[in-house]
Structure 1
Amino acid sequence: MERLLDRERARYAELHPRSASAYANAKNLFGRTPMTWMAKQAGGFPLYLASARGARVTDLDGHTYIDLCLGDTGAMAGHSPAPVVEAVQKRFKDLGGATAMLPTEDAAWVGEELTRRFGLPQWSLALTATDANRWAIRLARAITGRPKILVNSYCYHGSVDESLIVVGPDGTPQIREGNVGAPVDTRVTSRVAEYNDPHRLAQELEHGDVAAVLMEPALTNIGIVLPEPGYLEKVRELTRAHGTLLINDETHTFSAGPGGCTRAWSLDPDIVTIGKAIGGGVPVGAYGLSQEVSERIEARTDLDLIDMGGVGGTLAGNALSVAATRATLEHVLTDEAMAGMTALGTYLAEGTRQAIATMPWSVAQVGARAEYRFANPAPRTGGESHAAENPALDDYLHVYAANRGILLTPFHNMALVCPETTQEDIDAHLEVLEAAVKELEQDG
């Protein structure tokens, strides 16, 4: 593994001198990148973006890639889709007023469309899914009068403080390794249960102090972990029995279809949060409320929802983001387009199973998204999926793919398709993956 990885990294450095130079010269950026996670690259330094269109990305050295990362879902609509470009140009250039602190009619259209897709009747806009989660948590605490939030071990909800807690090896809650500057011990604010473990969930809810269960319908950022039969129904049953709200974070699982897993799997959450893809590459987030939840909030006249109550942001719901969101939902990530993406995602998942058939790995799919994990059978909890991590193997497969024109999500082996991804693109990825696996077998 070390020899193969060294070989691929040497080739990567040879292919990308301008990206290497740009990284070396970015001395006034903390971590040498605009955001520190951009430095997580298997080749030792990040590729620098020159341009991107549809399902293709071109780097500073002139290499063009089939992009199966798609901004870790942020570009699930493809890069710069024409309807979004047109809507943004019209709003920003022709009409102006991108951030005037005034509502636009586009926002009402977006709210109505999100209701059609997800079923929840009331929506509010944010700039990121992280913000949507934070605000949903505050609302849940306010109307339940309870202090704690329950999450799944190794879940992903952005940088939400309450989510950085895991089930330790001894079964007790622990602060997630690497948590930066936590304002308080996460065990004070949160409870945790493994995904697919309704017994542990019931035990934690019995304390009576959990305002909401914040969860992804399927875990995604620790490798895809799918629900076992009846698990999500049991979660809903338990939360209702204990007077706890259920928040479904659909930011990644939106890949399941036009209404995410909520619609595809007939789920019934109290709140839905979402972000990334719905803006077609322009920052936006949203959260939807059930009728009961919205009525409970509105009945609380003591809550400051307008000024400094802790819910909202100056740029949230800005006219530019809302115009991009309407264009994305109305013209790009349509029901028809997402059905086609799911079909291609199935082709990807089936082809990946064949490409890795000789390895003790597994494949999981959520609509347009598929991912392989270094374990078979597939992990059933976040803890099991975390235990299956192999950083050197991850890096080898990522840099091998990049050197041959394929981009995968840097944090895991996720491949995602957009409306402009083709079967030929998937075939090219599968050919590269199969070749990488064969080299491992030959050296093994």
Structure 2
Amino acid sequence: MAEIDRNRLGRALAEEQHRFVEDHPRSQALFEEAKASLLDGVPMNWMVRWAGAFPIFVREAKGAHFTDVDGHNYVDLCLGDTGAMTGHAPEEAIGPIVERLRRGTTFMLPTEDSIRVGAELQRRFGLRYWQVALTATDANRFAIRLARQITGRSKILVHNWCYHGSVDETIVTLQNGAPGPKPGNIGPAVDPALTTKVVEINDVPALEAALEAGDVACVLAEPALTNIGIVHPEPGYHAALREISRRTGTLLIIDETHTICAGPGGYTKAYGLEPDMLTIGKPIASGVPAAVYGFTSEIAERIRAAMDLQTADTGGIGGTLAGNALSLAAIRATLESVLTEAAFAHTIALAERFTAGVQAVIEERALPWHVTRLGCRAEYWFCPRPPRNGGEAAAAIDAELDRYMHLAALNRGILMTPFHNMALIAPQATEADIDRHTTAFRESVEALVD
């Protein structure tokens, strides 16, 4: 196996940093200007987490590509970290969105689109009833509240290194075998160890031990980990999760916000999962803020029995803009015309091509790396074998090598997801776009190994 010379890596990274600054004078100027009014020069703090000395400023985007203010065109394999999984400004959604804008956007009253959305969600995911929120974070928060209300239990359980947005209870990780605040957890309301149990994905004995106490209202789970790299569940894990949760009276909430990449009905439909509740946000409205959460008929009856209509507006679930007409029009257009069976067939095939291209380079250069895929999402890792759980994945991170590969790709017109080496494929992407990445990946590797 080839080894990376760290001195050579340091020199290559410095060269890419210099090239980036030279190629993006307008973005740099705008970044400096933005510092006068925006904290750290960005409108949202995560936007500072890019490999370059500053974020590039976007001028416009269409489909699988965007152009920055310096005139560079990029193949977008980040897609707003799944928010633009539909591709940018998909033609099929633009008309209904613009028409809804002309006719009013929010009323705190339903529109006919809400009925069509509910029926389509029911068909795709198999859960009977649905509600609408603005973000997957809110959908998860509301689902957790409902689970606590109807079970009378206080705790939740998540997988180590999970991702469920900015829900307080989920910004937690295992520290020496015990739950504690995830590194960087900003001002937690309470110690998450008081609210949350944490187990590694694929650890059935730990899962069973955590749920047997009978104090967990719900398991909130991505069906595969996606934000510490793609970590697949092992055969039989989901069957065990469902059996143990049912036996212990624990509700199972599946978060499909990232794993919708597995197909039109997400991982749930593709692999026959049977959650009590399901949440999803990000891509379902073609970039318009929207999310949904659904539940079975049985859960719906328990919710109704535990709710007081007179205080429903002050119970911590909902929001003035939740379920607004614009979001619902965008969800309807996206589900009916953009995130279709045909679109997934196309993007999954391209993700397979991406995986094959990366694997070929890894083999050519005898690198101790691997590449893995989930639907139309793929990722390469700087370790020889796929991590079995979140803890192993976190231990395999190589921050310097990550930064180099991201920046080298960006300098060659490829935008990867900034937090790891992940690519998400838009429906408008082409084989040429994927091959462009393979070429950039090969060039980046050749600068490191002979």
Tell me how far apart the structure 1 counterparts of residues 126 and 309 of structure 2 sit (CA, whole Å).
26
| Pairwise CA distance, 1:174 | 2.1
| Pairwise CA distance, 1:356 | 2.1
The counterpart of 2:90, out of the listed 81, 85, 88, is 81
The counterpart of 1:130, out of the listed 124, 128, 137, is 137
Tell me how far apart the structure 1 counterparts of residues 190 and 376 of structure 2 sit (CA, whole Å).
38
The counterpart of 1:416, out of the listed 402, 418, 424, is 424
TM-superposition CA deviations, 1:398-436 (whole Å, max 9, x none): 110010110101111110111101111101101111111
Q: Report the counterpart of residue 119 of structure 2 in structure 1.
A: 112
Q: Report the counterpart of residue 386 of structure 1 in structure 2.
A: 394
Q: Do 2:226 and 2:258's aligned partners in 1 also have CA atoms closer than 8 Å?
A: yes
TM-score normalised to structure 2 length: 0.96
Secondary structure of 1:356's counterpart equals helix
Tell me how far apart the structure 2 counterparts of residues 264 and 346 of structure 1 sit (CA, whole Å).
17
Tell me how far apart the structure 1 counterparts of residues 143 and 310 of structure 2 sit (CA, whole Å).
14
Q: Report the counterpart of residue 443 of structure 2 in structure 1.
A: 435
Q: Do 2:179 and 2:196's aligned partners in 1 also have CA atoms closer than 8 Å?
A: no
- Give the counterpart letter for 1:43 in structure 2: G
Tell me how far apart the structure 2 counterparts of residues 257 and 417 of structure 1 sit (CA, whole Å).
12
| Pairwise CA distance, 1:154 | 0.5
| Pairwise CA distance, 1:384 | 0.5
| Pairwise CA distance, 1:118 | 0.4
The counterpart of 1:8, out of the listed 16, 20, 37, is 16
Q: Do 1:270 and 1:290's aligned partners in 2 also have CA atoms closer than 8 Å?
A: yes
Q: Is 1:91 matched with 2:64?
A: no
Q: Report the counterpart of residue 6 of structure 2 in structure 1.
A: none
Tell me how far apart the structure 2 counterparts of residues 431 and 145 of structure 1 sit (CA, whole Å).
55
Q: Is 1:359 matched with 2:367?
A: yes
C-alpha distance 102-430 of structure 1, shift in aligned 2 (>3 A):
same
The counterpart of 2:227, out of the listed 215, 221, 228, is 221
Q: Is 1:165 matched with 2:167?
A: no
Aligned counterparts, 1:239-254, within 5 A: 239-254=245-260
Tell me how far apart the structure 1 counterparts of residues 276 and 178 of structure 2 sit (CA, whole Å).
28
| Pairwise CA distance, 1:291 | 1.1
Q: Report the counterpart of residue 287 of structure 1 in structure 2.
A: 293
Aligned counterparts, 1:186-205, within 5 A: 186-205=192-211
Q: Do 1:303 and 1:309's aligned partners in 2 also have CA atoms closer than 8 Å?
A: no
Secondary structure of 1:327's counterpart equals helix
TM-score normalised to structure 1 length: 0.97
The counterpart of 1:34, out of the listed 29, 33, 43, is 43
| Pairwise CA distance, 1:302 | 3.8
C-alpha distance 304-376 of structure 1, shift in aligned 2 (>3 A):
farther
Aligned counterparts, 1:144-159, within 5 A: 144-159=151-166
- Give the counterpart letter for 2:375 in structure 1: G
Q: Report the counterpart of residue 341 of structure 1 in structure 2.
A: 347
Q: Report the counterpart of residue 101 of structure 1 in structure 2.
A: 108
Tell me how far apart the structure 2 counterparts of residues 436 and 21 of structure 1 sit (CA, whole Å).
27
Tell me how far apart the structure 1 counterparts of residues 30 and 158 of structure 2 sit (CA, whole Å).
39
Pick which of 422-431 and 23-32 moved more.
23-32
Q: Report the counterpart of residue 265 of structure 2 in structure 1.
A: 259
Q: Do 1:369 and 1:416's aligned partners in 2 also have CA atoms closer than 8 Å?
A: yes
- Give the counterpart letter for 2:282 in structure 1: K
Tell me how far apart the structure 2 counterparts of residues 20 and 359 of structure 1 sit (CA, whole Å).
35
Q: Do 1:49 and 1:57's aligned partners in 2 also have CA atoms closer than 8 Å?
A: yes
| Pairwise CA distance, 1:375 | 1.6
Tell me how far apart the structure 2 counterparts of residues 433 and 18 of structure 1 sit (CA, whole Å).
26
Give the share of equivalent positions with the same residue, in percent. 54
Q: Is 1:375 matched with 2:383?
A: yes
Secondary structure of 1:149's counterpart equals strand
Q: Is 1:54 matched with 2:60?
A: no
Q: Do 2:284 and 2:335's aligned partners in 1 also have CA atoms closer than 8 Å?
A: yes
Secondary structure of 2:218's counterpart equals strand
The counterpart of 2:183, out of the listed 177, 199, 212, is 177
Tell me how far apart the structure 2 counterparts of residues 302 and 103 of structure 1 sit (CA, whole Å).
21
- Give the counterpart letter for 2:94 in structure 1: V
- Give the counterpart letter for 2:303 in structure 1: I
Tell me how far apart the structure 2 counterparts of residues 121 and 296 of structure 1 sit (CA, whole Å).
14
Tell me how far apart the structure 1 counterparts of residues 146 and 310 of structure 2 sit (CA, whole Å).
11
| Pairwise CA distance, 1:114 | 0.7
| Pairwise CA distance, 1:303 | 6.8
| Structure 2 alignment gaps of length 5 or more | 1-8
Q: Do 2:16 and 2:411's aligned partners in 1 also have CA atoms closer than 8 Å?
A: yes
The counterpart of 1:43, out of the listed 31, 52, 68, is 52
The counterpart of 2:312, out of the listed 293, 306, 309, is 306
Tell me how far apart the structure 2 counterparts of residues 175 and 202 of structure 1 sit (CA, whole Å).
23
TM-superposition CA deviations, 1:114-146 (whole Å, max 9, x none): 111100010100000010000000000000000
Q: Do 1:361 and 1:378's aligned partners in 2 also have CA atoms closer than 8 Å?
A: no
Tell me how far apart the structure 1 counterparts of residues 55 and 307 of structure 2 sit (CA, whole Å).
50
- Give the counterpart letter for 1:347 in structure 2: R
Q: Do 2:179 and 2:192's aligned partners in 1 also have CA atoms closer than 8 Å?
A: no
Tell me how far apart the structure 1 counterparts of residues 358 and 236 of structure 2 sit (CA, whole Å).
27
